[in-house]
Amino acid sequence: MMAKGKKTKADWMDNLIGLFSPKTKMKRLQYKFAADVIRRKYEGASIGRRTSGWRTASTSANSEISMAMTKLRDRARDLVRNNPWASRGLQVIESNVVGKGIQTQIRIKSGRNTARREEDLNRKWKAWAGTVACDYDGMHTLAGLQRLAMRSTVEGGECIVRLRKTSRKTVLGPDGEMIEVPPIALQLLEGDFLDQNKLSSEASGSNRIIQGVEINPNGQREAYHLFTDHPGSLSINLVTSSKTVRIPADEISHIYRSDRPGQIRGISWLAPIIIRLRDLDEFEDAELVRQKISSMFTAFIHDLEGIDDGLTEQEIENQLGEKMEPGLIEILPPGKDVKLAVPPSKEGYASYVNAFLHSVASGLGITYESLTGDLSQTNFSSARLGKLEMNRNIDAWQHILMLNRFMSPTFNWFLQGCELIGQKTNGARALFTPPRRELIDPTKEIPALKDAVRSGFMTLSDIVRQGGHDPESHFDEMSQDNKMIDKLGLVLDSDPRKDQSNAAGQ
């Protein structure tokens, strides 16, 4: 009997043949492929000394936001209150996105009495949106609410627009007549009003609640759970501040920037630069203290003779000053000497702050020049290219946030309110006009716009809207001006009907 574990000649032969079998060859190829993958892996996913302190988590957008939203929002507001660069960044975004307000022109495509219905709706809109009748708190026109909503969205990450029903009322219209306006108003609320601790178990039926937003089984928003009072108010007690009400989703417009699919709540736009702004604050404070210390030039006079004038040790100590002041001359008593620590010099302060502010501007999506007003390092071409890039962000914020999430729901609520007072609104649609943008080089851009209209690439109304004006009001005013000019018999170069310089071309 053969000893256990001892291989025969036949066994060795079988193993040798097995090395060349298809199955073994496939395994060797798999091992080789795995080794190649390891060698060619993503460097950013490697584990080693350079990434040892890099902590990451595969959490969802809502999980990340729920853990950080409140702290980021509070810190962002503190920076806006106390840091000039954070406050300036907010102003730049708010002014460029909203400006004097997004204008609205109502159009009705077809139907009976189209022109008259259009005129009635536009008059009601101007009477409602152009007065404080649109504000539930009675403080702002619609343009003011737009600016407030955009500011709250950037600073706190989100803004809640709530539809509120009001009593029927009439207001003074744009032509001085009394107009009945829809019995509705808008109430703006900060994101703090959404109860982020509301649990899914508290939802009705099969709905679930995520950070105060109630979602149905199809993933659509059903309702919002809002506090009756601001949870941070000092004038209410804990019992009152914890009360919530369920508001249907069709009465709420939730404005926030979505950075990830499935994101329920918004996060402050200052989140990527909060630490940098805080560090910059501390750095500038330290530099200011250093400059103050450096400016304390003090002269010390030593008594070389060392004559004893009969003063006691305590009296000598009392004669010495305890503070340094600019221009101070201190006479030292015999036997006393003063040695001062030389404050370290800080070279490159301007370039350091400059680099810091470049990162702050990039984090907000605006240009360094618009944030600081510093144009010393730019020429016309570079400033124009930077402005064009920033304008792309402005366009996105205007259309995605203000037009789609603020103006469109507001206009739909306005039409519902008009129906309540007997105004027919079928077929009505809105044309929104964002605020005008100043031309960078008018001598070149105006002829280009004129050529675009003549070539049919743009309409004259498009050009007027780019200037931030309502085309209907613009052309009405132009018609009135032309009638007045004709009545007075004036001939102006600004009147294309009378300008002879382009007569041949026309």
What is the DSSP track for 16-68?
HHHTTSHHHHHHHHHHHHHHHHHHT--GGG--SSTTTT-------HHHHHHHH
pLDDT tens for 58-74 read: 889 999 999 899 999 99
Token couple for 314: 């305590």
- Give, in order, the Cα–Cα distances in Å from 271 to each of 72, 75, 89: 6, 9, 13
pLDDT tens for 222-251 read: 999 999 999 888 766 555 557 899 999 999
From CA 400, how far away is CA 280, in angstroms rounded? Answer: 32
**Per-residue confidence (pLDDT) for residue 134, from 0 to 100:** 96
From CA 3, how far away is CA 7, in angstroms rounded? Answer: 9
Residue 266 domain flag: yes
- Work out the burial of residue 200: count CB atoms within 10 Å of its CB; fewer than 13 is exposed, 13-18 middle, 19 or more buried: exposed
Residue 502 domain flag: no
Helix/strand/coil for 298: strand
Residue 253 domain flag: yes
- Displacement of CA 301 from its chain's centroid (Å): 59
- Judge whether 478 and 485 are in contact, CB under 8 Å: no
From CA 382, how far away is CA 388, in angstroms rounded? Answer: 10
Query: E strand or H helix at 432, and its extent?
Result: strand 428-433
Closest CA to 89 of 3, 24, 154, 172: 154
**Per-residue confidence (pLDDT) for residue 338, from 0 to 100:** 62
Residue 231 domain flag: yes
Token couple for 209: 């609640």
- Judge whether 331 and 301 are in contact, CB under 8 Å: yes
User: Given the structure tokens 């600019």, which residue do they identify?
Assistant: 326
Q: What is the 3-state secondary structure (H, E, C) of 66-124?
A: HHHHHHHHHHHHHHHHHCHHHHHHHHHHHHHHCCCCCEEEEEECCCCCHHHHHHHHHHH
From CA 339, how far away is CA 131, in angstroms rounded? Answer: 69
**Predicted model pTM:** 0.77
Residue 33 domain flag: no
**Per-residue confidence (pLDDT) for residue 326, from 0 to 100:** 64
> Which residues lie below 8 Å from residue 105, measured CB to CB, with a gap of 6+?
122, 430, 431, 433, 470, 471, 472
- Give, in order, the Cα–Cα distances in Å from 394 to each of 92, 259, 346, 401, 467: 10, 16, 38, 10, 15
Bridge partners for 300 per DSSP: 330
Query: E strand or H helix at 158, and its extent?
Result: strand 158-165
pLDDT tens for 484-498 read: 888 888 887 777 666
Residue 499 domain flag: no
**Per-residue confidence (pLDDT) for residue 422, from 0 to 100:** 92
Number of structural domains found in the chain: 1
From CA 454, how far away is CA 448, in angstroms rounded? Answer: 10
- Judge whether 360 and 275 are in contact, CB under 8 Å: no
**Per-residue confidence (pLDDT) for residue 209, from 0 to 100:** 92
From CA 130, how far away is CA 141, in angstroms rounded? Answer: 5
User: What are the phi and psi torsion angles at 14 (to 5°)?
Assistant: -65, -40
**Which amino acid appears at position 104 of this protein?**
T
Write out the residue range of the structural domain in which residue 137 sits: 61-270
* Residues across the chain: 506
Residue 113 domain flag: yes
* DSSP calls for 231-275: TT-SSS-HHHHT-EEEEEGGGEEEEE---STT--S---TTGGGHH
pLDDT tens for 367-413 read: 999 999 888 888 877 877 888 889 999 999 999 999 999 999 999 99
Token couple for 219: 């993933």
Helix/strand/coil for 208: strand
User: Given the structure tokens 């300008």, which residue do they identify?
Assistant: 499
Residue 195 domain flag: yes
Closest CA to 330 of 310, 316, 342, 313: 316
Bridge partners for 299 per DSSP: 329
Residues of the chain with pLDDT under 70: 1-41, 111, 201-204, 235-241, 295-346, 496-506
